Amino acid sequence: MSLKDHPILKAAKGEKTDYTPIWIMRQAGRYSARYREIRAKAGSFMDLCRNPELAAEVTLIPIEEIGVDAAILFSDILVPVEKMGINVSFVEGKGPVLEPKIETLEDVDRLKVPEPERDLPYVLETIQIIKKRLTDRPLIGFSGAPFTLASYMLEGGSSRNYIAAKSTMWNRPQLWDALMSKLTDTVIEYLSAQIKAGVDLVQIFDSWMGVLAKEDYETFVFPYTEKIVNELKKRHPETPIIHFGVNAGHLLEVNNRLNVDVLGLDWKTEIPFALKRIDKSIQGNLDPVALFADEKTIEEKVRKILEEGMKARGHIFNLGHGILPKTDPEKAKFLVETVHRVSRELRR
């Protein structure tokens, strides 16, 4: 089978497939004992992201252990932010800490748009190593979207209420536009470099867009994401693009205007609800906690999602967010096997 005929790429483009393909967000992560072993010897989390051999090895773990239909580049959405001039560290129990926070227009002026070949060569080298080893299924590249990255930079890390991000958006439009524009240029160059290095499709994570009201999202965020997508489609028209965020069911009709191939759904956005509002392929959307249920319950939930997904233009199965660290790997493997088996049954 030619890679361009792989079910994930065909489903993304709305073409018929023999079964529903599946990959899992955060599939190269802490639920895997092998990942934890590699992570322990790598140094810091960011050190692991900067080590092409180890990052490639981690990327391929879920292919070998649970049999997913695609690999996703092991990295982090904050990797390019670090090269813009922000120190990024990960604190146990707290998550990412970014210093200095962006507070003034002068802070934004000091940020640079990284040149991936010069500033992020280890990411591109990781992709090249993976592509030499992974010949039978696609590799997914990714980036954070400008709003999610801007939120981290303005808040100095994760947030529950996004006061700094939202107040900047409303009260300081010049600063907001300067930061979002610089991030937009960064994401365009970063994803374009990943595609040139060999990834077969890309996912844009606007993880936190769901915290915004529709009007605010449409006014202050959507135009920047739209620019990214349009530029990527102009440069790389054959590369499918997935767009994903959490708690974003109220933004479906807006995001349907994006020139992307696939819209990712979280587990709280029901597929029939989504299909009344969009005409793109879908990705998702099993609750990550469902993998803590018994196998009978998992199969029932999988079957429902697959049946609903068959009415979409195309369907890539996934969780509705990242796999949880305490998940039993055998349950993840069972999920993959069940999606393959049941989706074939439904097509008979």
3-state secondary structure of 345: helix
Q: Decide if 180 contacts 188 (C-beta within 8 A).
A: no
Share of the chain above pLDDT 90, in %: 95
- The top-level CATH class assigned to 45-67+71-199+201-239 is alpha beta
214: amino acid identity, one letter: K
**Could you give the C-alpha distances from 45 to 19, 52, 92, 228, in angstroms and in order?**
35, 13, 11, 28
152 catalytic per annotation: yes
In the beta sheet, which residues pair with residue 264?
283
133 catalytic per annotation: no
328/342 Cα distance (integer angstroms): 21
Cβ burial 181-219 (10 Å sphere, 16+ → b, else e)? ebbbbbbbbbbbbbbebbbbbbbbbbbbbbbbeeeebbe
Q: With bands split at pLDDT 50, 70 and 90, how would you rate the model's confidence at 94? A: confident
Tokens of 14: 């709305």
92/103 Cα distance (integer angstroms): 25
Would you give the end-to-end CA distance of the chain in angstroms? 21
Q: What is the Cβ-side half-sphere exposure of residue 307, based on CA atoms within 13 angstroms? A: 6
> Is the confidence at residue 1, as pLDDT, over 70?
no
Identify the pLDDT of residue 246. Answer: 96
3-state secondary structure of 194: helix
| Averaged pLDDT score across all residues of the chain | 96
pTM of the predicted model as reported, rounded to 2 decimal places: 0.97
76 catalytic per annotation: yes
- The single residue of 34, 76, 122, 185 carrying the catalytic annotation is 76
Dump pLDDT digits (tens) for 112-146.
999 999 999 999 999 999 999 999 999 999 999 99
36 catalytic per annotation: no
- The single residue of 19, 31, 39, 266 carrying the catalytic annotation is 39
CA angle 136, 138, 142 (to 5 degrees): 155
- The single residue of 35, 152, 162, 224 carrying the catalytic annotation is 152
26 catalytic per annotation: yes
Over residues 195-219, mean pLDDT: 97
Identify the pLDDT of residue 148. Answer: 97
Dump pLDDT digits (tens) for 295-348.
999 999 999 999 999 999 999 999 999 999 999 999 999 999 999 999 999 998
- The single residue of 19, 26, 50, 162 carrying the catalytic annotation is 26
Identify the pLDDT of residue 44. Answer: 87
